[in-house]
Amino acid sequence: MIQRLQSVYLAIATLLGASLALGTIATYVSPLGITTTLGISNTVVNTAFQTLESNINGGILVISAVIVGMGLFALFSFKNRKTQQLVCNIGTVLSLFATLYLASTNNMLMEKNGINAFIISNYRLFTPLLCMMLFILAQRAIKKDDDLVKSADRLR
């Protein structure tokens, strides 16, 4: 049923996945005053607030869309618990890949701006980790629910 605990976990994971695509994830300020933002569009701005470089980061948009899609599919496939468990496991792996992608992008921007760059992190930098934890909690709740149904079937 949709009012179960796993539905809450999946709804929160879906909202966090959607928030990944909104706004900036992190801002890097180099000692020279050049500011680089990480988000759907990576922007490099100098000290006079002139845009030096701007490009679209499609990876973050795809990651966000896939996490949201997995969360919604798992949320609305509540009648088939095996499918819901499988989708939660896939969502966990995709969230892990999202975490690795953001870590590699973070590392690349750190090297680009110099090792002494000042980082202004946003909570969105950690949303793939939170999504992964919520997918794991949802999978555990689905398993408990399935075990409860199996034990009730044995009593009949």
Q: Is residue 145 scored above 60 in pLDDT?
A: yes
Pick from 132, 14, 120, 30: which is nearest to 72 by CA?
Answer: 14
With respect to residue 25, please indicate whether it lies within any of the assigned structural domains: yes
With respect to residue 146, please indicate whether it lies within any of the assigned structural domains: no
Instruction: Please state the pTM of the whole predicted model.
Output: 0.81
CA distance 20 to 60: 8
Q: Which residue has the tokens 């180099």?
A: 30
Q: What is the pLDDT of residues 94-144, one digit of tens each?
A: 999 888 888 887 777 777 766 566 667 677 788 889 999 999 999 999 888
Beta-carbon contacts of residue 133 (< 8 Å; ≥ 6 apart) = none
CA distance 65 to 71: 10
CA distance 83 to 156: 25
In contact, 43 and 51? CB cutoff 8 Å: yes
CA distance 148 to 28: 49
Question: Over pLDDT 70: what percentage of the chain?
Answer: 80
With respect to residue 142, please indicate whether it lies within any of the assigned structural domains: no
Q: Which domain holds residue 50?
A: 5-137
Tokens of 36: 């680089």
What H or E segment, with its residue span, contains residue 105? helix 81-113
**CATH number, domain containing residue 122:** 1.20.140
Average pLDDT score over the chain: 81
With respect to residue 37, please indicate whether it lies within any of the assigned structural domains: yes
Q: Which residue has the tokens 């020279």?
A: 32
In contact, 67 and 91? CB cutoff 8 Å: yes
CA dihedral 23, 128, 12, 62 (to 10 degrees): 60
With respect to residue 150, please indicate whether it lies within any of the assigned structural domains: no
